[in-house]
Structure 1
């Protein structure tokens, strides 16, 4: 009886170990710490008590094609203007849909190919008959050609390099439309992606018009802090490449009503 009990106990332990082994992933997952960026809809936006959007869908899609990665934190808000500092300090590992600037190129890793590209336009007051055919027309307005840009976002340095007078003191569509309505600038420069919806939410859409000319096209990237391991970067690169090749990035953009993106990278 004792021998039988011992054999049964050994078999039971073996089966338990076998079950644990089967339940353990062959490759341990790397947790990639990220965050939802405020005032960036439809990259991130609230819906039914959760944070949803283009970037949340991209995170989940990357987890499917790169099972060694798990993105954590996209259900927690952080001011968009703090993202660069958090990445540089190592408190965040990654951020979604970030444009290139000279300082960012020095402090962050940009994953190629880009996630998508988006058109940028100028918004003017509805009663302003100004016609713009290019940046030279804006420059010709001199002090009457101030352009509002969201605080902490990539376009400001680029516009300044063109000689444009930029006011980037406010963040968010509503805040900048209020400044534009008050006459504190002539234009507001913003990506078309999500613009109509944000203007409607502001309650002031009828007071402004979107000028028809596309003033710029900017690619947006998945980025990582310089502290992140090369293997993680390579997994992310392969994942983004696969999502682009399969058409999944384009599908995600279409889902969120993107009429202005130039399309996911091939």
Structure 2
């Protein structure tokens, strides 16, 4: 707990010092956001929580992503800037219907429908807490949210009629979870992080079932790591896709893009 005389409330410089001492790399920027959002005892409490390792976005109640504010909260995966590459690549394709698998807070879907109004958007996840936020972020924009395991959550009439599937599925190998920053490890749901023994277990399932839902010439986009990209590309190719890997050094982001070969009649 921060001890602060009530007659001398926390000032911006105080917050910067506390956050910097706690190891926050962007202490100045974070201090600006916290002091703008909170005051008095509430500010003191929020600074203490941030210094203890709780993600800033969960405290503020929002994360900036692709130029929009995505509502988030305690126990929810915070969208990363690197995932903007997934959105950029999907938005460059011809889309009428898109499915956001493992949607979490719905950030990817919300960014897509914000930039491409009029598309039909469906988001799925197994985590009921995450879906509470996905509904806030997506349904107000005209998208639909479904709870369930990957494609099993989708309406059956979508089968064979989806243009694009996007997936930021968990891809951290189980044994590497312990080496993640405490912000993620201790404050985000394990179901959004743990990709199984090789990190590819969920990606493998996403790729294997995607062809049943995509139109001829449809696309599957999966975020992955630079190290795992060859294996992710291989499993997408094995599912019947033509593949390529897209890399952004600026975002430190990697996406595998698969395309269903056009069916010949």
User: Could you tell me the TM-score, scaled by structure 1's length?
Assistant: 0.29
Greater relative contact order, per chain length (Cα 8 Å cut-off, separation 6+): 1
Compare CA radii of gyration and give the structure with the larger one: 1
